[in-house]
Amino acid sequence: MALDPVLQQLVDQLPSVPPGPVDYPTLRAQAAAMIPMIVGPGGRIDVASIEDRQIETRDAKVPLRIYRPSTEPTGTLHYIHGGGWAIGDLDTVDHTIRRLCRDLSMVVVASSYRLAPEHPFPAGFDDSLAAARWIAANRSSLGGDSLPAIIGGDSAGGNLATAICIAIRDEPQEGRPFDAQLLLYPAVDLDAGENDYPSRVRDADPTLRRASLTVCVADYAQGADTADPRLSPLKADDLSRLPRALTVVLSVDPLRDEAVAYAGRLRDAGVRSELLEFDHLTHGFVHFAGIIPAAAEATDEVVARLQALLANG
């Protein structure tokens, strides 16, 4: 399947990952260096305010960045960045969070986490869970108690968001911490082999090769049981009583089929679950909305579908 031609030009410029052990410091530096290019000629989108803060846990200081829209807030979004559990931070997704803050007119709280392989599972999960609990406890000072709260993320961030929803579902609390999930091309089956899903066998996404995915999972899990629902939400026995979900997938993405399976299992468990699929785009497309018109159009559709899911829930 041919990619969008403008996106293909960008993909052709991306540095290739050399064979052998992964040099994570170099990959992190490359990701940071790309940001000025992918922000786009329009520059960073203005929002009303941005506040950095930290949550202190027993094991770590979890960084948060709170974005407030210029218009009346319509709710709260907790966003967890991707990057294979090993790359990325609040700065690398800043341009994307600004767009979501503006377009959703929501207070967006972006959280980061300790990265693998230096900090393997459950560090990333624990940090993201601490952030989710803080956001749920502070809804009134964020987007408002009476307005929707969403948890979401892309790729590894989508993995963490799904796992968090399962983990906190049965915790004693008043009300539901989150009303919806926004799952952007999430990894939900870290227990899968390279040939368990047709989308992995095809290995058709030039931005996320099956071999790279396998390495990222191994460096994050580091010997943990990958069937643990905190690693593989698709392996959870019970997916009932979870927040309604919008799952976004790409036709070429090796993660496509497991995400489709997860959306189906949610639906079978009685959860309102919607699936949105795009052709001609790659893993990570939301971060290219400032320079790829097709990515901007797709991101607009994601926002519209999420708003409809909230309105009709």
Which residues are marked as active site?
Answer: 155, 253, 283
- Residue 65's contacts (CB-CB under 8 Å, 6 or more residues apart) are 50, 51, 52, 53, 90, 94, 97, 109, 110
What is the side-by-side order of every strand in the sheet holding 107-111?
49-56, 61-68, 107-111, 76-80, 149-154, 180-184, 244-250, 273-278
Say how far apart CA 123 and CA 116 lie, in whole Å: 8
* Inter-CA distances, 7 with 90, 181, 260, 286, Å: 24, 27, 24, 12
> How far is residue 131's CA from residue 79's CA, in Å, rounded to a whole number?
10
Q: Which residues contact 7 (CB under 8 A, 6 or more apart)?
A: 280, 281, 282, 285, 288, 292, 294, 295
Which one-letter DSSP state was computed for residue 141? Answer: G
In contact, 243 and 310? CB cutoff 8 Å: no
Single-letter residue type at 193: G
> Coil, helix or strand for 183?
strand
Could you identify the residue written with the tokens 């230096």? 118
Do the strands 61-68 and 49-56 form a parallel or antiparallel pair, or are they unpaired?
antiparallel
